[in-house]
Chains A and B, each alone.
Chain A
């Protein structure tokens, strides 16, 4: 059997299946957004569905909202993961338990995480009762479904911090001690060492973490549906709503779906590029 044929046969059941299925799904989303595969109506290639969405306030509001949640969650998770990863880089008493506890939320399904949170922050939930008990607040604060999305961002960070932590930890651990020590001997302070040694050497891991968290948070449905503000839709909740029975607007849902894919791509490229630029810049700064 020729070698190339052998390779093709080997790749078919796994890679082949993924490629066929995913390209069908993506093609379908794009085609439906332009009026093809129109259930019931005629298939007319047109920009009408895009036009209709562009005129819809909820579309823009959802796009802004998902972009905001995803960017904030990605940056915040990475910012918190760095000190933790640096701290836990070498084992010490209790470090195993600590990293296990940091990683634990990653194992908790998103729906369960959202449920746990709304219990804790509800009007007479633990946080409110505790703050009133210690006297910091004199009446309960309404935190559920807050308009700024703090609950969703908190959930994203709770759930995604482990991913950033693991990626950064692996990368930081592979920096030889000698490199860090050499920098110290040259008189670099903690911040300078971080900027000039750690940051450039962990850039790839940071990019990966930012991109993965951004994409995950941009496509979020569960957190938005359960803990998000009633006034806002995420792209995923808007898409599901349009496709659902009250509207049965598959074409509109397709426009939102394609936009969401675009948002993921643009966000990922932008964040990765931002990190690259920032690293270059800080490296050159004295």
Chain B
């Protein structure tokens, strides 16, 4: 459906954009910066931490004299949706679009974005166009690395007592009923948990081969059998608010989400994060320039600044995100490097999240 919508919009629409794209890819970096300064502003569609990014972007504004507009978005797809719906417009409203790294499934980069832009960037050899299992072919650059894990209330529970395997998780849940909460929509922390528990139940962890026919019944049974022991929350942030208010001992979280809330004083520092042996998904987000961007050069300069080693180090300090520039420093993360080995991939492996989470929602949570 999504693809059909895009194709119809694309037919006979993107000519003006390509002309501009050609301009940018054939210019020198100095020429691009000069044009960017002339354009004078850039609109960045970023769907999380907009408020706190407003404290980060002034560094860019000061350096280049280019103003950054950061509208508040509601949810990860609002911006992508808008760019796709308005691809037919000669001049769009979005200069820089943040997208979850795995969205290569939903959108064809070369149809919608200016590029390839990777090779144009001054720090091209330290940044990447691959994130969360998606390969953007140089049309989008990774600017954010993130990891899901299990958040716990360290005032009331010790790390040694927390489960590392699904078998231990079962024992723990039976001993601490309704002390585990997770979401299945409005954010990926809960879906990551569902995904990885399912992988363990089906024995599809690590390098396991994908089975010929996938039978999810044991996964449905697991979530039905333990229904009285867990609580469903309504979003990432609902889980965060409720573990902070003492309702749960453990919830799946985004590492950067927790780090950000602790930094801004919305959450107490007693909420900590660990990455259990059963695995939790890690991923990343990318930025790209829509073909009908009103300020394409400014957008490119902004992306170059955002993915630079210096800015990435700053983001790690401010948000706890994993840097996407290999020359930056990542010493401010909440999860230890040893635990990071347990990180799993959203779309990789024998059981991608998309193959299991919607089915669990329909057959268990909303049955």
B78 contacts across to A, CB distance below 8 A: 245
Does A244 contact B77, Cβ atoms closer than 8 Å? Answer: yes
Does B365 contact A247, Cβ atoms closer than 8 Å? Answer: no
Assuming the contacts A123-B245, A142-B247, A230-B234, asked whether A57 and B6 have C-beta atoms less than 8 A apart, the reply is no
Does B245 contact A39, Cβ atoms closer than 8 Å? Answer: no
CB-contact partner of B362 in A40, A57, A142, A249, under 8 A: A57
A residues 186-202 in Cβ contact with B at 8 Å: none
Assuming the contacts A57-B362, A142-B178, A145-B234, asked whether A40 and B7 have C-beta atoms less than 8 A apart, the reply is yes
Q: Looking at the assembled complex, report how far the CB atom of B45 sits from the nearest CB atom of chain A, in whole angstroms.
A: 13
Assuming the contacts A123-B247, A142-B231, asked whether A40 and B77 have C-beta atoms less than 8 A apart, the reply is no
Bound Cα distance from A42 to B171, whole angstroms: 53
Encoded as 1 (CB less than 8 Å from any B CB) or 0, chain A from 17 to 58 comes to 000000000000000000000011100000000000000011
Encoded as 1 (CB less than 8 Å from any B CB) or 0, chain A from 96 to 132 comes to 0000000000000000000000000011100000000
Q: Is B218 an interface residue (CB 8 A)?
A: no
A233 contacts across to B, CB distance below 8 A: 366
B5 contacts across to A, CB distance below 8 A: 39-40, 248
Does A230 contact B365, Cβ atoms closer than 8 Å? Answer: yes
Does B245 contact A124, Cβ atoms closer than 8 Å? Answer: yes
Bound Cα distance from A58 to B246, whole angstroms: 32
Q: Looking at the assembled complex, report how far the CB atom of A66 sits from the nearest CB atom of chain B, in whole angstroms.
A: 14
**Total interface residues in chain A, CB < 8 Å:** 25
Bound Cα distance from A252 to B233, whole angstroms: 26
Q: Looking at the assembled complex, report how far the CB atom of A255 sits from the nearest CB atom of chain B, in whole angstroms.
A: 14
Does A58 contact B4, Cβ atoms closer than 8 Å? Answer: no
A248 contacts across to B, CB distance below 8 A: 1-2, 5, 81
Chain A residue with minimal CB distance to B182? A230
Q: Looking at the assembled complex, report how far the CB atom of A119 sits from the nearest CB atom of chain B, in whole angstroms.
A: 10
Does B4 contact A41, Cβ atoms closer than 8 Å? Answer: yes
A residues 205-254 in Cβ contact with B at 8 Å: 226, 229-233, 244-249
Assuming the contacts A39-B5, A40-B5, A246-B77, asked whether A231 and B231 have C-beta atoms less than 8 A apart, the reply is no
Q: Is A279 an interface residue (CB 8 A)?
A: no
Chain B residue with minimal CB distance to A249? B1
Bound Cα distance from A43 to B39, whole angstroms: 42
A246 contacts across to B, CB distance below 8 A: 77
Bound Cα distance from A139 to B95, whole angstroms: 52
Bound Cα distance from A38 to B184, whole angstroms: 29
Most chain A Cβ neighbours within 10 Å, of B80, B234, B362? B234
Q: Is B8 an interface residue (CB 8 A)?
A: yes
Does A57 contact B246, Cβ atoms closer than 8 Å? Answer: no
Does A231 contact B365, Cβ atoms closer than 8 Å? Answer: yes
Q: Looking at the assembled complex, report how far the CB atom of A242 sits from the nearest CB atom of chain B, in whole angstroms.
A: 10
Encoded as 1 (CB less than 8 Å from any A CB) or 0, chain B from 208 to 246 comes to 000000000000000000000001111000000010011
Bound Cα distance from A123 to B179, whole angstroms: 12
Bound Cα distance from A244 to B80, whole angstroms: 11
Q: Is A61 an interface residue (CB 8 A)?
A: yes
Does B366 contact A58, Cβ atoms closer than 8 Å? Answer: yes
Assuming the contacts A39-B8, A40-B8, A245-B81, asked whether A124 and B247 have C-beta atoms less than 8 A apart, the reply is yes
A226 contacts across to B, CB distance below 8 A: 234
Does B366 contact A57, Cβ atoms closer than 8 Å? Answer: yes
Chain B residue with minimal CB distance to A244? B77
Does A247 contact B366, Cβ atoms closer than 8 Å? Answer: no
Bound Cα distance from A248 to B80, whole angstroms: 12
B246 contacts across to A, CB distance below 8 A: 123-124
Does B366 contact A231, Cβ atoms closer than 8 Å? Answer: yes
Q: Looking at the assembled complex, report how far the CB atom of A44 sits from the nearest CB atom of chain B, in whole angstroms.
A: 13
A145 contacts across to B, CB distance below 8 A: 232-234
B46 contacts across to A, CB distance below 8 A: none
B232 contacts across to A, CB distance below 8 A: 145, 229-231
Q: Looking at the assembled complex, report how far the CB atom of A249 sits from the nearest CB atom of chain B, in whole angstroms.
A: 5
Q: Is B313 an interface residue (CB 8 A)?
A: no
Does B234 contact A40, Cβ atoms closer than 8 Å? Answer: no
Bound Cα distance from A248 to B245, whole angstroms: 36
B242 contacts across to A, CB distance below 8 A: 122-123, 144
Q: Is B316 an interface residue (CB 8 A)?
A: no
A123 contacts across to B, CB distance below 8 A: 242, 245-247
Encoded as 1 (CB less than 8 Å from any A CB) or 0, chain B from 153 to 187 comes to 00000000000000000000000001000011100
Does A40 contact B1, Cβ atoms closer than 8 Å? Answer: yes
Chain A residue with minimal CB distance to B80? A245
A231 contacts across to B, CB distance below 8 A: 232, 365-366
Bound Cα distance from A41 to B211, whole angstroms: 33
Does B247 contact A245, Cβ atoms closer than 8 Å? Answer: no
A-B contact pairs, 22 of them (CB 8 A): A40-B1, A40-B4, A40-B6, A40-B8, A40-B9, A57-B362, A57-B366, A58-B366, A123-B246, A142-B231, A145-B234, A229-B232, A230-B183, A230-B232, A231-B232, A233-B366, A245-B77, A245-B78, A245-B80, A245-B81, A247-B2, A248-B5
B: residues with CB less than 8 A from A are 1-9, 77-78, 80-81, 178, 183-185, 231-234, 242, 245-247, 362, 365-367
Q: A-B pairs with the 10 shortest C-beta distances?
A: A40-B4, A245-B77, A123-B247, A40-B8, A40-B5, A230-B232, A245-B81, A248-B2, A39-B5, A41-B4
Interface contacts beyond A40-B8, A123-B242: sample of 8 additional A-B pairs, CB < 8 Å, sorted by A: A39-B8, A40-B3, A40-B5, A57-B366, A142-B247, A145-B234, A230-B233, A247-B1
